[in-house]
């Protein structure tokens, strides 16, 4: 018995602890950096547990010229709009792909799948020139539109997996009872699909909240989102690490909370296609 326990410690717990240390250490370091006073942060000795706690950096973060609070508002606006637009469009499309056989179905599905493969920079550059011509540059709309380039194809793919797992007989029963398809969709499919829609929505929200490449080119000081604001904390005089780490912690808290609630369903959706394949 003792021998088995030792084996488990060496083959499971020990490697697990090593990998987890590697994965989690950067977050730990970011967190304690954000609560260290400045003299300790840039002192000669590196401390692994702060000698003094302070929330000064969080207070300073919201009073700098960067307008971090504005960036949080912009990020919320952009991520919420992107989620609403992408989720509506992709739920309808995924339902059509899953429940109807129609001319052009295969080619359209292939198109959506191909979109996941496009280099970001290939879209970034023409979109920049188009947004500029249309006068949309530096507006939240330009970001919402550019984010749909990757959120819609990915959500269609995710939702299609969820919908294909729901038996047809569900709606057929409703159709027999005299409902039309629209009513059957709203009354039967949507409620069952609810948790999957939430998971997909969380995924869309997360990716738009985190996106940087488009955001840095399509926003200015007033419309910038959190990732861009974080980067702009790096000024001419070097990096203010206490502010930056405090901003980082604030950035990941909302996505982490959402992810923990949605992770089970999201993982199911992500893995469904690949595991079957």
Partner 1 sequence: MVKKRTIWPYVLVAPAVFIILCVVFIPVINAIIMSFQNYDLRRPKEIAFNGFSNYAAACRDPLFWGSLTRTIIWVVCGVGFQFLFGFILALLLNKEFKGRGVVRAVSMIPWVTPGVLIGLMWRWIYDGNFGVLNDLLLKVHFITDKIPFLSQVTTAFPSVIVTIIWQGIPFFALMLLAALQGVSTDIYEASDIDGASAWQKLILITIPSIKNTIFVTALLRIIWVANSVDVIFNMTEGGPAYSTQTLSVYIFNKGNALNLGYASAMALLMAVLLLFVAVPYLKMNFKEEV
Binding status of residue 60 toward partner 1 by CB under 8 A: no
Q: What's the rounded Cα separation, in Å, for the pair 44 and 231?
A: 26
From the list 10, 19, 21, 170, which residue makes contact with partner 1 (rule: CB under 8 A)?
Answer: 19
Binding status of residue 46 toward partner 1 by CB under 8 A: yes
Looking at residues 130 to 189 of the shown chain, list those that interact with partner 1 (rule: CB under 8 A).
130, 145-146, 148-149, 152-153, 156, 168, 181
Q: Give 220's contacts (C-beta < 8 A, 6+ positions apart).
A: 138
Looking at residues 63 to 102 of the shown chain, list those that interact with partner 1 (rule: CB under 8 A).
85, 88-90, 92-93, 95-97, 99-102
- Of the pair 70, 272, the CB lying nearest partner 1 is at 272
CB of 188 to partner 1, least distance (A): 15
CB of 174 to partner 1, least distance (A): 14
CB of 269 to partner 1, least distance (A): 11
Exposure letters 50-67 (e unless 16+ CB within 10 A, then b): beeeeebbbeebeeeebb
Looking at residues 192 to 231 of the shown chain, list those that interact with partner 1 (rule: CB under 8 A).
206, 209-213, 217, 226-228, 230-231
C-alpha closest to that of 154 among 105, 206, 192, 194: 206
DSSP 135: T
Q: Give 85's contacts (C-beta < 8 A, 6+ positions apart).
A: 144, 148
CB of 235 to partner 1, least distance (A): 14
Binding status of residue 13 toward partner 1 by CB under 8 A: yes
Binding status of residue 51 toward partner 1 by CB under 8 A: no
Looking at 12-20, 50-58, 60-68, 193-201, which segment touches partner 1 (CB under 8 A)?
A: 12-20
Binding status of residue 112 toward partner 1 by CB under 8 A: yes
Binding status of residue 58 toward partner 1 by CB under 8 A: no
Which of helix, strand or coil describes residue 164?
helix
From the list 120, 173, 186, 194, which residue makes contact with partner 1 (rule: CB under 8 A)?
Answer: 120
H or E element: which one contains 168? none
Which of helix, strand or coil describes residue 239?
strand
Question: How far, CA to CA in Å, does 196 sit from each of 185, 212, 250, 262?
Answer: 15, 26, 27, 9
From the list 58, 62, 76, 259, which residue makes contact with partner 1 (rule: CB under 8 A)?
Answer: 259
Binding status of residue 10 toward partner 1 by CB under 8 A: no
161 touches 273 (CB < 8 A): yes
Q: What's the rounded Cα separation, in Å, for the pair 210 and 252?
A: 9
CB of 19 to partner 1, least distance (A): 5
Looking at 23-31, 50-58, 60-68, 191-199, which segment touches partner 1 (CB under 8 A)?
A: 23-31
Judged by CB under 8 A, the number of residues near partner 1 is: 99
69 touches 132 (CB < 8 A): no
Q: What's the rounded Cα separation, in Å, for the pair 120 and 108?
A: 21
From the list 51, 73, 105, 187, which residue makes contact with partner 1 (rule: CB under 8 A)?
Answer: 105
């Amino acid at each position: 018995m003792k021998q088995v326990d030792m084996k488990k410690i060496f083959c499971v717990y020990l490697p697990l602890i090593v990998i987890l240390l590697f994965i989690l250490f950067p977050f730990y370091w970011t967190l304690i950096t954000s609560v260290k006073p400045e003299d300790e942060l840039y002192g000669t000795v590196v401390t692994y547990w702060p000698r003094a706690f302070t929330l000064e950096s969080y207070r300073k973060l919201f009073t700098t010229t960067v307008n971090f609070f504005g960036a949080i508002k912009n990020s919320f606006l952009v991520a919420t709009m992107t989620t609403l637009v992408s989720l509506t469009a992709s739920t309808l499309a995924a339902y059509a792909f899953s429940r109807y056989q129609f001319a052009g179905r295969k080619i359209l599905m292939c198109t959506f799948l191909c979109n996941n493969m496009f280099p970001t920079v290939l879209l970034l550059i023409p979109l920049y020139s188009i947004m500029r011509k249309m006068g949309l540059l530096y507006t939240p709309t330009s970001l919402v539109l550019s984010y749909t380039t990757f959120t819609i194809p990915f959500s269609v793919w995710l939702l299609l997996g969820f919908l294909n797992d729901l038996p047809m007989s569900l709606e057929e029963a409703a159709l027999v009872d005299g409902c039309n398809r629209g009513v059957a969709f709203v009354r039967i499919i949507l409620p069952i699909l609810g948790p999957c829609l939430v998971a997909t929505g969380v995924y869309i929200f997360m990716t738009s909240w985190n996106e940087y490449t488009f955001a840095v080119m399509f926003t200015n000081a007033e419309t910038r989102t959190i990732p861009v604001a974080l980067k702009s904390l790096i000024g001419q005089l070097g990096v203010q690490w206490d502010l930056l780490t405090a901003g980082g912690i604030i950035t990941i808290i909302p996505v982490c909370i959402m992810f923990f609630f949605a992770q089970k369903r999201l993982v199911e959706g992500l893995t469904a296609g690949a595991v079957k394949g």
